[in-house]
Amino acid sequence: MKILLSGGAGFIGSHLAEELLSRGHTVLCADDLSLGTETNLSVLKGRRGFAFVTADLRSLRATESVFRKQRFDCVFHLAANSDIQAGERDMTLDLGRTFMTTVNLLSCMKRHGVKQLVFASSSAVYGELPGRISENSGPLQPISYYGAAKLASEAYISAFCRQCGAKAWIIRFPNVIGPRATHGVILDFVKKLKKDPRRLEVLGNGRQFKPYLHVDDLVRAILHVWGKSRGELNCFNVAGRGRTRVSRIAGEVAAASGLKGVKIRYGKSDRGWKGDVPQFDYSLDKITASGWRARLLSDAAVKKAVREIWSENR
């Protein structure tokens, strides 16, 4: 198939592009390089079926120019502002990078007759719902602008499917970790220890408790859902089994550093920043019933990602 991958130079997008190519698809990556880098795509350059274009999808004109390059069978939409803290400082950031990119892509899909969309959503749409959260849990009350923009995008996608006879796959990501990360708790800790090898400052009290998923497992999940589910609007939670505390991640990063006598200092808040959901737990019954399961538990995914991110940042 001919695929447009928005956000293709980013952390997750670059891994997804690799796997799509390995499965024989033609992939055009579109990215404004605000967070992603062409370095992430260096292993793909020269491969048959791969192309890259720099494009700011907040602009309808720029988005339209991408669609004029070739006819697409499916759009994988990963472009977004993935820095939730930055979005809290500037509330227009997610409006543009997370929501308007969706609106512009849908507009061009309608104009060019593209009938398939795979959308990277987030656990952030659930806000602070208690208990094990299923795809039908509610009410959906995000506490970050990022989560709000993802939820608004989901609503537009739902309407688009009904109006245009299209199909969509909405996949609600947890905390995704692994090589090429541009943000996240592991990379944050690694950078802090490189700056001050004696002390590691943790945002929040370290009791934050969430599922972490390795990017390799996420890519498998995305393509599994896309291949297996054939409804008009297909929505799935995805995560590895179990949850991991931030305090454990801090210990793993400190241990993997090889540094001696690192002092880990915690804050007093139950969350790292405004908009941070300190604890959540997914129900994975739906995706498990479809035949998918993560290869790595949350703790194992963290351990692997810590090694990989340290290796990249020596």
Q: Which residues are catalytic?
A: 146
Report which of 120, 124, 121, 123 is spatially closest to residue 282, judged by C-alpha positions.
Answer: 123
Question: Chain centroid to CA 160: how far?
Answer: 22
In angstroms, the Cα distances linking 8 to 11, 30, 36, 124, 222 are 8, 6, 8, 21, 14
Question: How buried is 261 (Cβ within 10 angstroms: 0-12 exposed, 13-18 middle, 19+ buried)?
Answer: exposed
Helix (H) or strand (E) holding 14, with range, is helix 11-22
Question: Chain centroid to CA 256: how far?
Answer: 25
Contact between residue 265 and residue 199 where contact means Cβ atoms under 8 Å apart: yes
Contact between residue 31 and residue 79 where contact means Cβ atoms under 8 Å apart: yes
Name residue, tokens 């998923």. Answer: 213
Residue 62: what are its φ and ψ, rounded to 5°?
-65, -40
Amino acid, res. 296: L
Check the CA dihedral 83-85-90-92 and report its sign: positive
- In three-state secondary structure terms, 275 is coil
Which DSSP category does 292 fall into?
-
Tokens of 61: 């004109």
Contact between residue 117 and residue 168 where contact means Cβ atoms under 8 Å apart: yes
Report which of 247, 282, 286 is spatially closest to residue 130, judged by C-alpha positions.
Answer: 282
